[in-house]
Every structure is written in C-alpha cells, then in structure tokens.
Structure 1
Amino acid sequence: MLSAVRLLTRRLPSASAMAVQTRTMGTSQSFHINTPDNTQETYFDFTEENYKLVNKILSKYPANYKQSGIIPLLDLAQRQHGGWLPVAAMDKVASIVEAAPSRVYEVASFYTMFNRTKVGKYFIQLCGTTPCMICGSEDIKKTIEKHLGIKNGGTTKDGMFTLLEVECLGACANAPMVQLNDDYYECLTPKTVIELLEACKEGKPPPMGKWGSLPMNGQVSCEGPLGKTTLWEVLPPKVDAERFKDGKVDPASVKEHMSY
C-alpha cells in the first residue's frame, strides 16, 4: 500500500508546475468531479423530437454495431443540454448503444468537441496556434478578456460567454480567428471582435457568409484584397443540392455525391 502511495506521489505535478498557465486542449480534466447539476443521479433523457434523430442515427449502422453511433449521439445530447455533457447524458447514450458507461466516458473525454463542464451560451474557442499568433491572436485574446472581464478558460457571471484558447482550427489563411459555437469568425481585429461580442449580447451574431464562415474584414472566404484573381474559366463541379435530402447515403456512391 505504501509503495502504491509513493508511486502516485511521484506522478503528481508539483505545486509550481500546476501554477503555470498553459494552453488546454479541452474545457475540463479527464476525470469527473460531481457538481450539483452534474452527477449520475441527475436526470437526462432525449426529447421526443430528438429520439427521432436517435433512431435515424442508429439506422445507419448494423444492429450489432450500435456503438458506432456514440459520437453523433453524444453530439446530439450536448446540443440538447445547452452545449455541454453531464455524466447522466453519457450514461443515457451508453444505455442506448448497449455499451459500458466507461466506453462512452473515454470517447467524451478524448475528443475536445465534447464539453463535460458547463460552458456559456456563446462558447468562444480562440485559435492560438502559430499562424494566428503571428497575425495577432494574443491581442484578440487580451481584447476579449478585457471586454468580458474573464480570463482564458473562464465564463462570464451571466453565463453568456466562455473563452478558451485552443490549438489549430484550420482557418490559417484568415487568421486570427475564433470559433463561436459552430461558426467561424475570421480576419479579426480588436475592433471587430468587440463588435462581434456586442452583437452576441443582443442575440444577433452576424450570419455566416457565402462559404459558411465570416471574415470580419469584408472579404469573401479566402479571397485576397483584390478579390478573385484566378480560376475564372475552371468552374467547380455541379453538386445536387438535395443529394442527402432523405438522410440516406449509399456508400458506393459517396464519390459521386461529393463530386470527386
């Protein structure tokens, strides 16, 4: 018993190491800590409407491979629960896919897309990786922290905003940027990020641009300041807008659907 305690002690970080602020890859530790609104006894169940989606998700997999639906079911539960996953929701998913709860916990704690602690209505993930850092992400972070009165990893008292600095979000060409819930706001400056925050306070975040993101400097997608200067004669393949209308996809035709 004593040797086990000594082994555990050797693995624990020092107090000085824990005091150093580092960038995290998620919103919580890999282990669960009970809070009043997050215990195994806390009630969670999918709504009647979402059970239709549960059945639709499970219908995509063979009956003996229900566990393949863990990730989309966790995503559905998180969206229903205001952007985060209580342990009771993970237990419900485990029950539906007939898996041990630990199998679901390990998925939820591995992927940073799942928040196992409460986040604000607007979850701001600020990219701090090299291209964004070079283009001013530190100034964007300081602006957000000052304007909202929170630090990295914190949530405003009214529960409206949570700020978390994360690794690359794949929008390097339009750095610096943030992911706000599901949406990308790019080419930010301290001025435009404040405009974005104020719009969110009014419940009117700017709508996405033509290509599913919004550069806040007026450009379209990744076009430069001169606009589109190449590929005038090479048109993209035509894609059937209703190709997934019934929610079913024949794996053999995926390349056709994606215009490969």
Structure 2
Amino acid sequence: MSVRRLAEDQVQPAAFAFNDENAVWAEATIRKYPAGRQQSAVIPLLMRAQEQDGWVTKACIEYVANRLEMPFIRVLEVATFYTQFQLKPVGKRAHIQVCGTTPCMLRGAEDLMKVCQRKIHHDPLELNADGTLSWEEVECQGACVNAPMVIIFKDAYEDLTPERLEEIIDAFEAGRGDEIKPGPQINRYFSAPEGGPQTLLEDVKPVRTNLEPQPTAEEGATMPPAEAGRPKDTATEVNPAVKTPVTDKEGAEAQAKAAEQQPLSATAKSEPDPKSAGSAAEGAPPEPGAVSGDLKPKRSRKKTEKDT
C-alpha cells in the first residue's frame, strides 16, 4: 500500500470549522452513538469536512480530534488509511476518479486515463493550470458490467468512450457539470441490455387452473362425496353389485324359506339303528368275523422291579 502523507504546510489552512448547516448535522450525527462511543463518528465527520472544503486538512483533523476527545494521532491514522479521503487540494470543479480494475481496463480504462493526462495533468492528483480539475486512478467502483467508468464527487458515469469523457470534462470545467446525467452514457437503463429488453417482450399469462372459478352445485342439489382420498379396491367382496344378506334382506329371507321346504337329500344318513350289526350303539351285535368278548386278546405289560 502506498504511503499517504498530509499536504505541505504552505498549502494548509490556518484553521477549520464547520459552517452552520454542517455544524447542526455534526451534532445530530454524534448523538446517534451511545455514551462513551462518540468516537465512532470520526469517519462521517471527516467525510463531511471533505465535502465542505474539497479535501481533509491538518486543521480539520485537529478539529475532529478535539470535538470527539480523541488523540490527534488516532484521527490521523483514519484519514491516512482510507483512500477516500483526499489529503491534498483537488480540483474545485471536478476530481475525476478513473477505475483501473480488470473489467474497466479490458474495456478501455487506459484510453480514459490518456484523456485525463491530456486535458488535466500528466500526473495523477495534480491540479490543472487553473486549479479547477484533477484526476487519479482508483480501484473497483462497483459497476463492472457498465465498464469503463469514472466517479466525479458522488456520481458515477458509466459506459464511457474517450470522446464522451472529453465532453464531460469540458462541461465540468465550464461549470456545467450538473447538466451531465449520471449513470450509463449509452441507451440502457442501469445495467439492462443496450436498447432495452431483448427477451420476454410479450406479456405471458400463466395458466393457473387452481385460481379459476370452479362449478358449483345448483340450489337444492347434492354433491357426491369426493373419491380422491378413498382407496381403490377391485376385490369381489367390496363390489357393491354383489348382493349379501345385509344389502338384500328380502332375497335372503326368500332363500331361507325355500331351503326349509325342500326334502332331505337321499344321500343324507338317518340316525343309526342300535340293532344293526356294527352299530356304535351299546349292545349292538358285532360285525361278522370281528373278534369280541372273551376271545379278544388282553393287553399285558412288562413287570418291573417296582411290581415285584
């Protein structure tokens, strides 16, 4: 980082003071900070002093240090650290800051600097012969899409050509800087395409069926329940066309009466005859050839030591 020092004593004013308007503003700015934190207003006060006199003088630094009860060296550190503070006199009508970062450099920033060297001074931060204009190269100014660009005081002038910058410099030197419109110097709106929008030129109405009015039932009519949340089952048991005793009571009663009137089937067996052979009834004679009574062998079990 380059060394930044205050201007020579011969160009330094003897004293500094805010004018009436800025004095009221400074008091209101200091009151924004809580007790014991008023020193946080050092940057706003230095910037306001620069806007009033055009640059930050040694007397200004002393004034701000006394007003905020800060050591002089602390305020001097702030003023020399931030390059936004001008530590020597600059052009009274315009101080032109040319962006020299990569996007602007690729788009012709070097040609803009040559214009400043030719129309103002060969060296940056040097006044022209009348003391009305000065220039310097700075870092990115935040409008890379509109490169190249310059900033004059608080306004940015973008999409510049060398010819257009010459016109702007001549206007400020003549005291007509307020006639130059800030921003892009070509036919574009902020960072929009040159000449206006190139796409989406027609109004497209989105299709939003959920926002269209839905049909409603006529008065007195009932709407069937929605089937969206019900499970889909194709089993026969859930088919509403199938009749069951619950859904068709009359049919079920008719089937029951018809079954009562029908005779028993020929294959149906009656109660067993106790006298027939082989019957399970008590006292029935055994089937022919079957062993029964005393002739039926008896079961025996093997004697164990416990039995003896």
> Where does residue 112 of structure 1 map in the other structure?
83
The CA deviation at 1:231 is 8.3
Aligned in 2, Cα 1:218/1:226: closer, same or farther, shift over 3 Å?
Answer: closer
Alignment-mate amino acid for residue 107 of structure 1: V
Contact conserved, 1:208 with 1:214, CA < 8 A, in 2? no
1:162 to 2:131 alignment: no
1:96 to 2:67 alignment: yes
- Whole-angstrom CA distance in 1 between matches of 2:175 and 2:69: 39
1:84 to 2:55 alignment: yes
The CA deviation at 1:230 is 6.3
> Where does residue 139 of structure 1 map in the other structure?
111
How many residue pairs get matched? 201
> Where does residue 61 of structure 1 map in the other structure?
33
Aligned in 2, Cα 1:179/1:231: closer, same or farther, shift over 3 Å?
Answer: farther
Aligned in 2, Cα 1:161/1:231: closer, same or farther, shift over 3 Å?
Answer: farther
- Whole-angstrom CA distance in 2 between matches of 1:230 and 1:59: 50
1:51 to 2:23 alignment: yes
TM-score by length of 1: 0.71
> Where does residue 149 of structure 2 map in the other structure?
177
> Where does residue 214 of structure 1 map in the other structure?
183
Q: Which has the higher helix share?
A: 1
Contact conserved, 1:183 with 1:208, CA < 8 A, in 2? no
> Where does residue 217 of structure 2 map in the other structure?
none
- Whole-angstrom CA distance in 1 between matches of 2:114 and 2:128: 15
The CA deviation at 1:34 is 3.4
Larger radius of gyration: 2
Provide the secondary structure at the position in 2 that maps to 1:105: helix
Contact conserved, 2:91 with 2:133, CA < 8 A, in 1? yes
> Where does residue 165 of structure 2 map in the other structure?
193
Alignment-mate amino acid for residue 36 of structure 2: N
- Whole-angstrom CA distance in 2 between matches of 1:57 and 1:79: 16
Structure 1: 5+ residue runs without aligned partners?
Answer: 1-23, 234-260
Aligned in 2, Cα 1:136/1:61: closer, same or farther, shift over 3 Å?
Answer: same
2:175 pairs, out of 195, 203, 208, with 203
The CA deviation at 1:195 is 0.8
State the identity %: 37
Alignment-mate amino acid for residue 174 of structure 2: E
- Whole-angstrom CA distance in 1 between matches of 2:199 and 2:134: 40
Contact conserved, 1:86 with 1:116, CA < 8 A, in 2? yes
- Whole-angstrom CA distance in 1 between matches of 2:141 and 2:200: 26
Higher relative contact order (CA 8 A, sep 6+): 1
The CA deviation at 1:69 is 0.3
Aligned in 2, Cα 1:59/1:173: closer, same or farther, shift over 3 Å?
Answer: same
- Whole-angstrom CA distance in 1 between matches of 2:42 and 2:179: 30
- Whole-angstrom CA distance in 1 between matches of 2:135 and 2:156: 14
Structure 2: 5+ residue runs without aligned partners?
Answer: 204-308
Contact conserved, 2:95 with 2:133, CA < 8 A, in 1? yes
Aligned in 2, Cα 1:220/1:159: closer, same or farther, shift over 3 Å?
Answer: same
Aligned in 2, Cα 1:38/1:66: closer, same or farther, shift over 3 Å?
Answer: same
